[in-house]
Structure 1
Amino acid sequence: MMIYYIAAIAGIAGFLFGFDEGVIAGALHLLRSEFTISAFDEGLMTSAVPLGALGGALLVGRATETYGRRAPLLAAAVLFALGALFSSMATAVWMLTASRLVLGVAVGIAAMVAPLYISESAPAEKRGLLVSIYQLAITLGILGAYLVDFAFAESWRLMFVMGVLPALALLVGMYRMGDTPRWLALKGRTDEARQMIARIRERPAADPAVDSELASIRATALHAAGPGNWADLLSPTVRPALIVGMGLFFLQQLSGINAVIYYAPTVFKEAGFGSASTQIMATMGIGVVNVAMTFVGMHLIDKIGRRRLLFFGFAGTALSLGMIAVAAATESEALDTLAIIGLVLYIAAFAASVGPLPWVMMSEIFPLKVRSLGMSVATIANWGFNFLVVFSFPMLVGSLGLGGVFAIYALVCAIGVVFTHLLVPETSGVSLEEIERHLESGQPFSRLGATGDRLVTA
């Protein structure tokens, strides 16, 4: 049970990610009535979180190599608390934007390090499920934000300050944790690595299974002696992993998920939902679907494999976004129901597949020597495209209409099916060390797992 506890504590970072991205949805109409907000101001304020996260992801790559996986999560918890507090005290749009930028830095740090922390602690046969807890926590954070928006519908300050509570929970939880066995082994702290493996696996330190796992980790750590550098990411060995890591986040973000999350009430308004409270209630329904289907994805990810789940996810999101695009483009009231069905199906397909899998695979595919640097670049790609989608959404809707925007997102998802077929490996049940050996072999990365072989060692 210890590994589930570890995943749950690290997953609080995902809850904060979802909360701080989702809470703005119910606050926007209050902010518009209190402040003079132009379309540009709204786009910048709303996208401040992904913009700050871009900076956080850039900063944390090398820091995670030097200071470990635990310390950056503690720093992120402090930033989460400060950002939420200052957001609730803002008296001008620029102050709120700056506070959300701080929250974004915290999100960028946590979004890279939390999946890494879980992945490097988890056994291979449960790694997909456990890292998916992070994505589940994101969906719970989004749902929690919608519930807070509904509960404090007349006070945006109370909406924002509620983010302090999970931030404190993350700070206290991570303070009681140690670092990951793989980082400890990489730094030559073998005895500490042994103790951490024994603690996580709930076995005596002298257990042969602990010795076997430690020996495998140490062999890889010794092979990775010396710090990695940014140039290593472009080496023939690592480049296939970099393409997959960045490519999956590119496809995830340009599927339009954050436009839906941030602007779900606006989407419902376009579909005929009248009052702000009705729009938020409908958006809460989307949040429930998001959480429920994330559980489905967690159940399937280690059973049917990453590739098959990605095929289903990209096909489902392409189809459902196409439904929304058709309904929105015709502006027919008769098709409003089609738009809502498409939106629900889109969230379901995304939550079960396209949502969690880039986070899971990012934490698996990079060699130990450059794992944190590779994950840093992958998350930089994530936040860069996140910012692009959220910032551009109001302006794109103004010029292309909702139908045109969702048609673009549908095309991106269709491209995702082809990308998965050509480039994405099957990592389900394969140890991190075996994934690294496959990269070094020079075989096509997509061939990994093609024979159906599965390892059960961590």
Structure 2
Amino acid sequence: MNVMAKAEKKISSAFIYFFGSFGGILFGYDIGVMTGALPFLQADWHLENAASLVGWITSAVMFGAIFGGALAGQLSDKFGRRKMILMSAIVFMVFSVLSGVSPDMGEASAYYLIIVRMLLGLAVGAASALVPAYMSEMAPAKARGRLSGLNQTMIVSGMLLSYVVDFLLKDLPGEWAWRLMLGLAAVPALILFLGVLRLPESPRFLLRKGDEAQARKVLSYIRKNPADIDQELASIKETAKEEQQANQKTSWSTLFSGKYRYLVIAGVGVAAFQQFQGANAIFYYIPLIVQKATGQAASSNLMWPIVQGVILVIGSLVYMWIADKFNRRTLLMVGGAVMGLSFILPAVINWMMPNMNPMTIVVFLCIYVAFYSFTWAPLTWVLVGEIFPLAIRGRASGLASSFNWIGSWLVGLIFPIMTASMPQEAVFAIFGIICILGVIFVKTCVPETRGHTLEEIEEQGTNHGRVKASNPEN
């Protein structure tokens, strides 16, 4: 027993935070990998004229992720964040390999790959829900924004990794190129599994299950001041006691009870807006966007995803530097306003100057990606991880993740249809309007969470619910 305790003491906070957020690599890799793999897959399986099959192959992961996020969030409340992250890594490994070894059986191969990628999406969606929840429960309030932002750095690093892998493998024979692109996703999944084997469980989950001694031990790894540990344990225990006294059984209907409704709407709304603002239209289709703007073949534009990936990684690092220096709401509103203008201005310029340089839209898209990278991209997951009360955190973060993936899936499906029926500038202008609506939503519906403990944030929601109940006209 003493040997095990000593071994556990060797777990550093840096190790915990690194592998606690490493699931974002898996999430990001699979978002980006089809950008380069799809042209080779189409040629290998002769799917050039099978638009619906190609669309489903591309979006199948996002479709599966819709359910993976909700399912993992619910199960994590029962089995713990750590165990569910381990399970997600296993699922990701298995179905990444199965994607890479897809049998060549004509049209049936496409259906096989769609099903496999849907199942892979369960793991991707689970990671998108579990990692923010785990990181927020491990990080101290004063550094939670920066440490939770590690998740976004991991996501965009995974995207950049997939873009670089696509570019490096593009000169292989077509069949080998796309198979290796998809199959290599198993490597980061294996690294995640091995790392998480040594991670402790979330102290809040442990305390909720009555294991105070282990919760105290975990907090001792990541809190330097013993007084902070006692204070945090007392705060968590008080919240848990209130939940027990209320004798509430957590269910989906609980999420929208008066006590929680305000915070659930805020968290789920931000998660949904992040995707409906159109970011993934750029990430999935940037080679095609450049092709339509310049006339160059999409296959010759595989450097553009790398450019976007580099901007995303730099932006995530900028966010980690400024995360705890500015309010969450301020960053979201400033970022959303600039993103909206970056989408709307090309349409206005094109209307005033019909002969504008076609690369103008690409320049504005880079500005959009830059501001998205250090505002809405990381802050969505920071808020999802910290805004939901303990009693509903698993289910609520899963619901937010599912809405986020619904947006991602729909944007991925409808963007090609929209650009086929109207100018690209007009399509992006529509997304720009949604960005502005997102700013209004943040201003009116989202509370400030920077510097507050998770228990203080819950109290904000409780008080807001009481005000609404006593003043229904408001």
Partner of 1:106: 123
Number of aligned residue pairs: give it.
443
Amino acid at match of 1:144: L
Structure 1 residue 439: deviation in Å? Answer: 1.6
Within-5 A mapping of 1:308-347: 308-326=330-348, 334-347=356-369
State the partner residue of 1:452. Answer: none
Percent of residue pairs bearing the same amino acid type: 36
Give the deviation of 1:331 after TM superposition: 10
Partner Cα separation in structure 1 for residue 352 and residue 153 of structure 2: 35
Q: C-alpha distance in 1, partners of 2:306/2:59?
A: 21
- Deviation of 1:420 (Å): 1.4
2:395 alignment counterpart: 373
TM-score (norm 2): 0.89
Shift of 1:423: 1.1
Once the two structures are superposed, residues 401-437 of structure 1 have per-residue CA deviations (whole angstroms, 9 ceiling, x without a partner) of 3222211101100111211111111100100011112
Q: 1:346, 1:46 → 2: CA distance?
A: 23
| 1:137/1:301 CA distance change after superposition, 3 Å | same
CA separation of 1:389 and 1:277: change in aligned 2, threshold 3 A: closer
1:139 aligns with 2:149: no
* Contact 1:438-1:445 at 8 Å conserved across structures: no
Question: 2:64 matched to 1:52?
Answer: yes
Q: How does 1:273-312 map to 2 (within 5 A)?
A: 274-276=296-298, 278-312=300-334
Q: Any conservation in 1 of the 2:361–2:425 contact (CA below 8 Å)? A: no
Residue 392 of structure 1 aligns with an amino acid whose one-letter code is I
Q: Hey, what's the Cα distance between the residues in 1 that align with 2:321 and 2:64?
A: 33
Specify whether residues 4 and 305 from structure 1 end up closer, same or farther in structure 2 by C-alpha distance, changes over 3 A only. farther
Amino acid at match of 1:129: R
CA spacing shift, 1:163–1:331, aligned 2, 3 Å: farther
Matched, 1:12 2:29: no
Map 1:128-277 → 2, pairs under 5 A? 128-153=145-170, 154=172, 155-201=177-223, 207-225=226-244, 227-272=249-294, 274-276=296-298
Q: Paired residue for 2:75?
A: 63
Q: In the alignment, residue 369 of structure 2 is paired with which amino acid?
A: I
Q: CA RMSD in A?
A: 2.0
* Larger CA deviation: 183-192 vs 39-48: 39-48
Q: Please state whether the residue corresponding to 2:13 is helix, strand or coil.
A: helix
The aligned amino acid for 1:83 is F
CA distance in 2, matches of 1:425, 1:445: 15
- More displaced, 34-43 or 118-127? 34-43
Q: Report SS of the residue matched to 1:179.
A: coil
Question: Please, which of 414, 419, 434 is the counterpart of residue 397 of structure 1?
Answer: 419
Whether 1:385 aligns to 2:407 is yes
- Residues 59 and 413, structure 2, Cα contact 8 Å, conserved in 1: yes
Instruction: After superposing the two structures, state which structure 1 stretch, 233-242 or 95-104, moved more.
Output: 95-104
1:362 and 2:384 aligned = yes
2:449 counterpart SS class: coil
Tell me: CA distance 1:330–1:393, structure 2 relative to 1, closer, same or farther (3 Å): farther
Between structure 1 and structure 2, the one with the greater Rg is 2
Match of 1:41 in 2: 53
Contact 1:307–1:426 (CA<8 Å) still a contact in 2?
Answer: yes
Q: Post-superposition shift, 1:10?
A: 2.3
Is 1:348 the counterpart of 2:370? The answer is yes
* Aligned-pair CA distance for 1:328: 7.3
Which residue identity is paired with 2:86?
Answer: L
**For 1:81-92, what aligned pairs fall within 5 Å after superposition?**
81-90=93-102, 91=104, 92=109
Q: SS of the counterpart of 1:23? A: helix
Per-residue CA deviations over 1:289-330 (Å, capped at 9, x if unaligned) read: 111111112222211110110111101110111234457789
Corresponding residue of 1:449: none
SS in 2 for 1:120: helix
Q: Specify the code of the residue in structure 1 equivalent to 2:241.
A: L
What residue in structure 2 maps to residue 429 of structure 1?
A: 451
Quick check: 2:294–2:359 contact (8 Å CA) kept in 1? no
Q: Mean alpha-carbon deviation: is it higher for 380-389 or for 267-276?
A: 267-276
Measure the CA separation in 2 of the matches of 1:27 and 1:323.
32
Q: Is the 8 A contact 1:241 1:445 kept in 2?
A: no
Q: Please give the alpha-carbon distance, in whole angstroms, between the structure 2 residues aligned to 1:72 and 1:328.
A: 49
Q: How does 1:431-450 map to 2 (within 5 A)?
A: 431-442=453-464
For the residue of structure 2 that corresponds to 1:236, the secondary structure is coil
After TM superposition, the structure 1 stretch with the greater mean CA deviation from structure 2, 211-220 or 164-173, is: 211-220
User: Do 1:439 and 1:445's aligned partners in 2 also have CA atoms closer than 8 Å?
Assistant: no
- 324 and 210 in structure 1: CA distance in 2 versus 1, 3 angstrom threshold: same
In 1, Cα distance between equivalents of 2:38 and 2:314: 26
Q: 1:358 to 1:445 in 2, by over 3 A?
A: farther
